[in-house]
């Protein structure tokens, strides 16, 4: 099935928040945010702004009738700053005016007096000053400190991976409309409609049932709208509560870049020990996560870093610790991979370091340590249906690694100015929200009396094509054509208490609920069809919009059965609830079985570095990926390619920069480079590995949204190899992104 949105996307007809026709009395909102990263607010003068013609009201924390608190995991973040500010861009007030132009003018008229306090921008500095979000977490397996003494090789080092801007095409925004009796409808660009509803109710001091959140679709989320779509929606809701008029707020790109959090930068310290035959015997890491000024999702992200700290390798003795370091940056947040990529960059760096110092190729260490069946992860889960070796060796075979390496060697011999590098990047990613209680979803299905069907779930469409997958599930179970099925918007009054669409689990969780609801409906309709056709229920099936008897098409259509069901007063609506079985995790022991299953894969990356200029091109990324049994290979390969481009961007060019005052320097697309058509690999080839699929995945089709991002890490090490080929004195550094500037320095250092 084609992505069901492609037709309206291509024609520009798909609706986003900014496309909604506003009510005639609608007003526009705009945030006034902190011009300093840390300080005490001495005074704010709104008088000139308030006096401006067309300004309706300026809201501050004083207008909050409930709680001025939006922190999800830890209540440590005010909606609007009260007497202190903790990051540059922190919301202080909300201007509501007749037009955007007036609101902007008003914002420029506000003056603020801040007594500045010391600013922390790096995780290292925060650790030195004991500035943390919460207590550190540690995972342990075996006895790492004892095992180092039994190792032939022991190496220690430091890594840094930078943040990353989500750069969803559609910026954050919400349109809030008052309904009767103090009820409010929010059309929000959020991955978490329930989180918006719950937080709005709390801040407004009203029950959740008074807030309806509707999500049509997002122009991308990438984790940036899992938690951080909430404040803007709540601000518009507060304004509606006071003014009883619709209020819309769409952030422009500059405001969005400045005020929202990003992927967490990490500084990490590793120690790796190997035996003579290159088995990794012991591994220790201290991760310093730069969490920003408030918790947001940082604790959950820190946890996933620990889950993925050993990537696709079995290491018998592991000790990993993560500190969520509180700094004066905007609170960093979920971003595709959710802390996993940051963990995996460190183990890959440690292996590269070890290989370099031993004087062998990195892949020799990788290959002998790949996960096998029944290996234990550091968090106690036993690996089953492992495809780590399968994807690794299939990739080597399918893409003829030997030939690629021969070509590289002869190219490097013949060329002085250009050098090629190759890397292998295996991935292993756990599927499920790491927080067990979040793994549930619901679906509500209406069959209308003409036979058409409306499907509601908690899934948010953000470009990952989850709606198409939901429709496919319904189509398979109901046996009707796609034209009869409609995916409704995601709405809290139809499907309540949802988890955000995240953790790559949306299709699994909501799809299973759709499957259950459709199965129940089919059970009922089978009874009706049996009477209609005077045959036994066990012989009846629904296919191609008709009743089939003993596998043969009858003359009774789907519509006939639905009409008869109406006559017999059979319920044509069903609601189902799915909660992932098996999974559990005990935080007091840091052990359990947190993931329904894992996704595996291996990428081979080839690059060419221009050793005069320090620029590089990614020649090819060739991937063998574990889709399980893909229910829609077109969509799934699209996810692999998109995630790969995003991963390469993170590793090679996207450079977030703050100055020491905590101001974002990379605050526009002229100073923040994202992958474009020229920087994508010239060849991307994705081959599905042959497997039986996994029953915990929807229709055995494994989750695909986040795992392939981590193939992008391979680009770092391929470039690194090319630099080393040119400059044997280059001392390996693990400081991403590997920008052309850093490549150039590496090419000519120590010469
Ligand atoms: N693909 C597109 N086109 N747009 C997005 O915003 N988000 C990613 C991934 N793929 C995203 C995307 C992230 S961070 C996640 S967690 C998953 O999709 C969420 O959707 P899923 O659970 O349906 O895979
Ligand atoms: N992934 C994404 N979002 C989450 C998770 C997770 O594992 N846990 C809590 N929120
Ligand atoms: Mo994705 S980072 O779990 O929204």
Ligand 3 atom at minimum distance from 191 CA: 4
Give the CA radius of gyration of the chain.
27
Residue 692 has a pLDDT of 85
Which positions are annotated as active-site residues?
706
DSSP 8-state class, residue 493: T
What is the whole-number distance in angstroms between the Cα of residue 475 and the centre of ligand 2? 29
CATH topology identical between 266-434+588-747 and 440-579 = yes
> What CATH class does 6-117+166-259 carry?
alpha beta
Phi-psi region of 513 (alpha: psi -120 to 50; beta: other; left: phi over 0): alpha
**Cα–Cα nearest to 632, from 479, 472, 495, 488:** 472
Ligand 3, pocket residues at CB < 6 Å: 191, 221, 223, 226, 334-336, 338, 502-503, 706
What are the extents of the domains in the chain? Answer: 6-117+166-259, 266-434+588-747, 440-579
Q: Is 435 in the pocket of ligand 2 (CB under 6 A)?
A: yes
Question: Dihedral of the CA atoms 18, 19, 24, 25 (nearest 10)?
Answer: -20
Interval 183-232: pLDDT, tens: 999 999 999 999 999 999 999 999 999 999 999 999 999 999 999 999 99
Nearest residue (by CA) to ligand 1, atom 16, is: 502
Residue 52 has a pLDDT of 98
Residue 512 has a pLDDT of 98
Interval 321-373: pLDDT, tens: 999 999 999 999 999 999 999 999 999 999 999 999 999 999 999 999 999 99
Q: Is 229 in the pocket of ligand 1 (CB under 6 A)?
A: no
Phi, psi (degrees; rounded to nearest 5) at 749 = -80, 155
Q: Which residues contact 669 (CB under 8 A, 6 or more apart)?
A: 253
Residue 544 has a pLDDT of 98
Q: Is 469 in the pocket of ligand 1 (CB under 6 A)?
A: no
Q: Is 595 in the pocket of ligand 2 (CB under 6 A)?
A: no
Strand partners, 599: 429
The whole-angstrom separation of Cα 344 and Cα 1 is: 34
Q: Is 738 in the pocket of ligand 2 (CB under 6 A)?
A: no
Q: CB burial class (10 A; 0-12, 13-18, 19+) of residue 74?
A: middle
Question: Domain 266-434+588-747 falls in which CATH fold?
Answer: Aldehyde Oxidoreductase; domain 4 (3.30.365)
Residue 751 has a pLDDT of 87
Ligand 1 atom at minimum distance from 336 CA: 14
Q: Is 470 in the pocket of ligand 1 (CB under 6 A)?
A: no
Instruction: Dihedral sign for Cα 149, 151, 152, 155, please.
Output: negative
Identify which ligand lies nearest to the alpha carbon of 439.
2
Ligand 1 atom at minimum distance from 221 CA: 6
Our measurement of the distance from residue 632's CA atom to the centroid of its chain's CA atoms, rounded to an integer in Å, reads: 20
What is the whole-number distance in angstroms between the Cα of residue 226 and the centre of ligand 3? 7
Counting as low any pLDDT under 70, the low residues of the chain are none
Residue 693 has a pLDDT of 87
The whole-angstrom separation of Cα 648 and Cα 743 is: 15
Residue 1 has a pLDDT of 86
**Cα–Cα nearest to 96, from 61, 52, 65:** 52
Residue 395 has a pLDDT of 98
**How are strands ordered across the β-sheet holding 683-688?**
418-431, 597-610, 616-625, 683-688
Give me the CATH code for the 440-579 domain, please.
3.30.365.10
Instruction: List alpha helices for 260-400, DSSP H.
Output: 298-307, 340-358, 362-368, 388-398
Nearest residue (by CA) to ligand 1, atom 10, is: 705
What is the whole-number distance in angstroms between the Cα of residue 462 and the centre of ligand 3? 11
Helices (H) and strands (E) in the chain, counts: 19, 30
DSSP 8-state class, residue 460: P
Average pLDDT score over the chain: 98
Q: Is 287 in the pocket of ligand 2 (CB under 6 A)?
A: no
DSSP 8-state class, residue 129: T
DSSP string covering 179-215: -GGG-EEEEE--S-HHHHHHHHHHHHTS-GGGEEEEE
Q: Is residue 267 within 8 Å of residue 159, measured between CB atoms?
A: yes
């Amino acid at each position: 099935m084609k992505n069901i949105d492609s037709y309206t996307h291509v024609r520009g007809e798909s609706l986003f928040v900014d496309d909604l026709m506003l009510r005639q009395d609608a007003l526009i909102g705009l945030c006034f945010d902190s011009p300093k990263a840390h300080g005490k607010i001495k005074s704010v003068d709104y008088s000139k702004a308030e006096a401006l013609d067309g300004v309706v009201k300026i809201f501050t924390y004083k207008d909050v009738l409930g709680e001025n608190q939006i922190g999800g995991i830890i209540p440590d973040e005010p909606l609007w700053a009260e007497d202190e500010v903790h990051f540059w861009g922190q919301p202080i007030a909300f201007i509501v005016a007749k037009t955007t132009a007036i609101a902007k003018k008003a914002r420029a008229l506000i003056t603020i007096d801040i007594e500045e306090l010391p600013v922390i921008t790096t995780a290292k500095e925060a650790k030195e000053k004991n500035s943390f979000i919460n207590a550190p977490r540690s995972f342990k397996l075996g006895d790492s400190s004892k095992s180092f003494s039994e190792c032939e090789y022991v190496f220690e080092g430091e890594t840094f991976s930078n943040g990353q801007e989500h750069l969803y095409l559609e910026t954050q925004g919400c349109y809030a409309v008052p309904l009767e009796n103090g009820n409010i409808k929010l059309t929000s660009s959020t991955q978490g409609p329930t989180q918006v509803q719950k937080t709005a109710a709390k801040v407004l001091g009203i029950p959740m049932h008074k807030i309806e959140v509707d999500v049509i679709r997002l122009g991308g989320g990438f984790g940036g709208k899992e938690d951080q779509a909430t404040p803007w929606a709540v601000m518009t809701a507060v304004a509606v509560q006071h003014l009883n008029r619709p209020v819309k707020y769409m952030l422009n790109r500059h405001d969005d870049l400045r005020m929202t959090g990003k992927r967490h930068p990490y500084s990490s310290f590793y120690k790796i020990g190997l035996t003579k035959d290159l088995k990794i015997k012991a591994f220790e890491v201290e991760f310093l996560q730069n969490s920003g000024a408030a918790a947001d999702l940082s604790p959950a992200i820190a946890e996933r870093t620990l889950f993925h700290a050993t990537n696709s390798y079995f290491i018998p003795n592991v000790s990993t610790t993560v500190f969520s370091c509180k700094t004066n940056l905007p609170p960093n947040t979920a971003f595709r991979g959710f802390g996993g990529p940051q963990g995996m960059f460190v183990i890959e760096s440690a292996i590269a370091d070890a290989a370099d110092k031993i004087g062998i190729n990195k892949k020799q260490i990788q290959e002998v340590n790949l996960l096998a069946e029944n290996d234990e992860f550091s968090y106690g889960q036993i690996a089953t249906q492992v495809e780590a070796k399968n994807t690794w060796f299939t990739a080597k075979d399918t893409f003829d690694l030997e030939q690629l390496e021969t070509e590289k060697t002869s190219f490097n011999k013949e060329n002085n100015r250009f050098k090629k590098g190759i890397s292998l990047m295996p991935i292993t990613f756990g599927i499920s929200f790491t927080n067990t209680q979040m793994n549930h979803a619901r679906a509500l299905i209406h069959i209308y009396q003409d036979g058409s069907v409306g499907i509601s779930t908690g899934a948010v469409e953000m470009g990952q094509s989850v709606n198409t997958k939901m429709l496919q599930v319904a189509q398979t179970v109901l046996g009707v054509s796609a034209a009869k099925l409609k995916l409704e918007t995601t709405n809290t009054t139809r499907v309540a208490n949802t988890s955000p669409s995240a953790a790559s689990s949306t299709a699994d969780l909501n799809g299973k609920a759709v499957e259950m609801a459709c199965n129940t409906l089919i059970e009922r309709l089978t009874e009706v069809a049996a009477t209609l056709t005077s045959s036994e229920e066990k012989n009846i099936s629904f296919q191609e919009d008709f009743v089939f008897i003993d596998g043969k098409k009858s003359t009774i259509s789907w519509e006939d059965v639905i009409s008869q069901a109406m006559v017999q007063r059979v319920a044509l609506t069903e609601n189902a609830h799915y909660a992932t079985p098996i999974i559990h995790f005990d935080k007091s022991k840091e052990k359990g079985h947190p993931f329904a299953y894992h996704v595996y894969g291996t990428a081979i990356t080839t690059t060419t570095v221009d050793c005069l200029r320090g620029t590089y091109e990614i020649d090819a990324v060739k991937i063998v990926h574990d889709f399980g049994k893909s229910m829609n290979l077109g969509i799934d390969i699209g996810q692999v390619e998109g995630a790969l481009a995003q991963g390469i961007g993170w590793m090679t060019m996207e450079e977030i920069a703050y100055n020491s005052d905590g101001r974002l320097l990379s605050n526009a697309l002229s100073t923040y480079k994202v992958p474009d058509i020229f920087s994508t690999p010239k060849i991307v080839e994705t081959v599905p590995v042959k497997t039986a699929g996994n029953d915990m995945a929807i229709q055995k089709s494994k989750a695909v949204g986040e795992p392939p991002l981590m193939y992008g890490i391979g680009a770092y090490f391929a470039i690194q190899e090319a630099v080393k080929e040119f400059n044997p004195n280059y001392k390996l550094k693990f400081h991403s992104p590997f920008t052309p500037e850093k490549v150039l320095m590496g090419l000519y250092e120590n010469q």
